[in-house]
Structure formats: C-alpha cells, structure tokens
C-alpha cells in the first residue's frame, strides 16, 4: 500500500483522543470549532459532513464499525451501546455501526434504521472487513461509492486479538521508546505484544480489502485512505 501511495509521515491528530479527532475527520474542522473537545460529547455539526457531501455528489455512502460521535450526555458512557437514530448518521446510507465497544469478540452493532442490537461473528475487525468487501463488490459496477470502515483495534484490551496473531509476537523481542521507564517495561512489553497482534490482524484485513478492489476492477478508480483517530503512548 505504501509503495503505491503518498505516505503522510508527519500527519498527527490535532486532538489525540477518539471523539474529538473523529469529529474532525467527519467535519473537516478543529475540535474547538465542531465542539467535541473531549470524549463522549455529542457531535452537532454546524456545516456539511463527509457523508452528506459525498451523498449530495451522487455517491453511495456506507459506514461500518465504530462511530463514537453520538456522545453520552449523562457523563457516564450511557449511550455507548445505544441505538443511533438515522438523523445522526450524517449522510451515511449503508449503516452497520456501534457508538463504542471494546469487546472485539462480542461486538454489538445496529443495521440501518433497525433498533435491534446485532453482534458481529468472532473478532469484529475481520467480520467488518468481510462486510466491507461485500459492499465494494456490490457497488463497483453501479454508482460511485464512499465507504468508511472504522475498525476498533488496535486498542485496549490488548490481549484479545485472534490467537494466531498473538502467537506471532509471544516470543519476539520488544523494542521500547527511550522514555519508557525501566520499571514499566514488563507492562509495556505485554501491552505492545497485544497491540502488535491487533495490528497484524488489521494488516490482513487491509490486504483483503485491496485484493477485493483488484478483483472488482475498481482499484484504478478508487482512492484508499488508511488513517486513524490517534495512537497509543504505550507507557512512553
């Protein structure tokens, strides 16, 4: 992917926590403008959003995975597993999303306008990638599409990736940033093994997505953006 792409090596989150940066990705605005300055504040856009802009331009829009801008006004994460009403989808017509869940092996989502909770089978990133591949295959011969696949990992809890990915790092030597305190390196080592295992799983997911674009003869006419809301300090 990198060999075929522009790699923004100095791109950083303007506000490196989940909700503020997600609000920025959806609105093109800084958190002080769109209003989500900390996690779990509801995004109430004051201009056109990403999904609305593409839909208005004739694109079929889709969103799969973690949303995390519906907010929890109770201040206690009370809406993280709640149904997100259609008017809060901000222009995404195809919808299989959850506000926020870190249970990647029993991961809840809502489909479209149906308030019935459903669950992704197995490790959610793999199941969500399956769904994204099916979306691509359905849309490459029709109107242009804009799809957001919003995967939860890599994120705590770290030791929850499928076993085959955890095994890849179980006996590997772990390198630390210089500012990881010596007395925290055992914890950092354990966390990083899980972090990398999640990343390896996502590498395979990304590979499948790119191969689906190739197989669907859409690769030459599709822009792929691989980005994130923020990263993790890992005790550094």
Active-site amino acid positions = 18, 68
Task: Kindly state the tokens that stand for 49.
Answer: 């959003």
Task: Kindly state the tokens that stand for 221.
Answer: 């006419």
CA pair distance 191, 135, nearest whole angstrom? 34
Beta bridge partners of 52: none
With CA atoms as reference, report the closest residue to 232 among 11, 7, 18: 18
| DSSP assignments along 199-221, one per residue | HHHHHHHHHHHHHHHHHTT-GGG
Q: Are strands 94-98 and 60-66 parallel, antiparallel or unpaired?
A: parallel
């Amino acid at each position: 992917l990198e060999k075929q792409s522009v790699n923004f090596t100095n791109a950083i989150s303007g506000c490196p926590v989940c909700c503020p940066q997600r609000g920025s990705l959806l609105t093109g605005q800084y958190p002080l403008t769109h209003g989500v300055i900390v996690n779990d504040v509801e995004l109430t856009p004051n201009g056109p959003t990403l999904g609305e802009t593409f839909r208005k331009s004739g694109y079929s829009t889709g969103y799969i995975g973690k949303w995390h801008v519906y907010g929890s006004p109770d201040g206690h994460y009370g809406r993280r597993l709640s149904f997100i009403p259609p008017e809060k989808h901000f222009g995404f017509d195809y919808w299989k999303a959850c506000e926020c869940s870190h249970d990647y092996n029993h991961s809840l989502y809502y489909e479209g306008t149906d308030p019935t909770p459903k669950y992704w089978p197995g490790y959610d990133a793999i199941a969500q990638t399956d769904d994204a591949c099916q979306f691509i295959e359905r849309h490459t011969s029709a109107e242009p599409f804009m799809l957001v696949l919003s995967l939860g990992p890599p994120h705590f809890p770290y030791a929850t990736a499928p076993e085959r990915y955890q095994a890849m790092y179980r006996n590997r030597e772990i390198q630390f940033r210089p500012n990881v305190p010596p007395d925290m390196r055992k914890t950092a080592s354990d966390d990083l093994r899980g972090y990398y295992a999640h990343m390896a799983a996502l590498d395979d997911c990304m590979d499948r997505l790119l191969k689906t674009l190739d197989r669907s003869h859409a690769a030459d006419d599709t822009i792929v953006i691989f980005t994130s809301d923020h990263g993790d300090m890992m005790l550094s």
